[in-house]
Amino acid sequence: MKQVLLLITFCLIGFSTFAAEPDCKKEKIDCLGECGRMVDENGDGFCDHGGLSTPETEKSSYLLLEIIAGTLLLYAVSLLLVKTKRYKKITHRKIWNYLLLITFLVSALLGLWLVVLINYELDTEFFKSYLTWHVDFGIAMSVVGIIHFIWHWNYYFRKK
76 in a domain, yes or no?
A: yes
Alpha-carbon distances of 160 from 150, 152, 154, 155, rounded to whole Å: 19, 16, 11, 12
Residues 82, 9 share a domain: yes
Residues 36, 12 share a domain: no
> What residue numbers bound the domain in which 51 lies?
27-62
Amino acid at 30: D
Dihedrals φ, ψ of 117, to 5°? -60, -40
pLDDT digits (tens, 9 = 90+) for 133-152: 999 999 999 999 999 999 99
Q: Quick one: pLDDT at residue 160?
A: 66
Residues 57, 102 share a domain: no
Domains contained in the chain, number: 2
131 in a domain, yes or no?
A: yes
CA atoms within 13 A on the CB side of 62: 15
129 in a domain, yes or no?
A: yes
Neighbours of 54 (CB within 10 A): 7
Neighbours of 35 (CB within 10 A): 15
Q: Quick one: pLDDT at residue 128?
A: 86
Q: What is the DSSP letter of 17?
A: T
pLDDT digits (tens, 9 = 90+) for 15-47: 554 444 444 555 666 666 656 566 667 767 667
Residues 53, 130 share a domain: no
pLDDT digits (tens, 9 = 90+) for 86-109: 999 999 999 999 999 999 999 999
Closest CA to 141 of 112, 109, 100: 100
